[in-house]
Amino acid sequence: MATTNNLFPVFDVPSALAEDVQQQQKFKPAPLWDVEKGDFTFNGARQPVYGGGYEAWALWCTKTILTQRWACAGYSSNAGIEADEAFKEPDRKAIESAFERTVSEALLADPMGRTRTVRDFEFRWRGGGDGLDIICSVYGYDGQSERITASIQGTARG
């Protein structure tokens, strides 16, 4: 309700609107990234194509898994995973366990606080053990989930 004696009236924000605004602040639209090309996605007029908040969050998750931790000085120490270290484990089960740990840590370190849980990992080995597809379910702070897939190259033993 507005106060009438104030030069700048104050209104109560309806709770449904407040929750919608909060969600929009966490899940913001962002330019889409083509993982295979390694470049932003553009339309026919060479303008960047933007995705919705959830799509941008899923893309952030994928890019985080594809980023080697500490490899780029422009990223914080929380960005990326320790893939090189994981591939040094002695066998496939240990490698998968290391990837599960490092992927979970990296996605839970989301600076915007969008990620609540990472689980349901699945690993698919490619090319005689030098490539690995990592699939996991990532749950947002609001309970909705995305299934993320990222392909990692390395020199695995086992």
| 0.85 exceeded by pTM | no
Q: Which two tokens stand for residue 84?
A: 């090189």
Q: How many domains does the chain have?
A: 1
The distance from CA 44 to its chain's CA centroid, rounded to whole angstroms, is 27
CATH code for the domain of 104: 3.10.450.40
> Would residue 42 count as lying in a domain?
yes
User: What is the rounded CA–CA span in Å between residue 119 and residue 115?
Assistant: 11
Tokens of 99: 């990837």
Task: Report the pLDDT value the prediction gives residue 156, as an integer from 0 to 100.
Answer: 46
pLDDT in tens, the chain (158 residues): 555 666 767 766 666 554 554 555 577 888 888 878 888 889 999 999 988 888 888 998 999 999 888 777 777 777 889 999 999 999 999 999 999 999 999 999 998 889 999 999 999 998 777 789 999 999 998 888 999 999 998 754 54
Asked if the structure places residue 6 within a domain, the reply is no
Question: Does 139 fall in a domain?
Answer: yes
- Bridge-partner residues for 134, per DSSP? 123, 150
Is residue 60 assigned to a domain?
yes
- Is residue 9 situated within a structural domain? no
Q: Is residue 10 part of a domain?
A: no
Structural domain boundaries enclosing 71: 15-153
With H, G, I as helix, E, B as strand and everything else as coil, classify residue 120: strand
Q: What is the pLDDT of residue 111?
A: 87
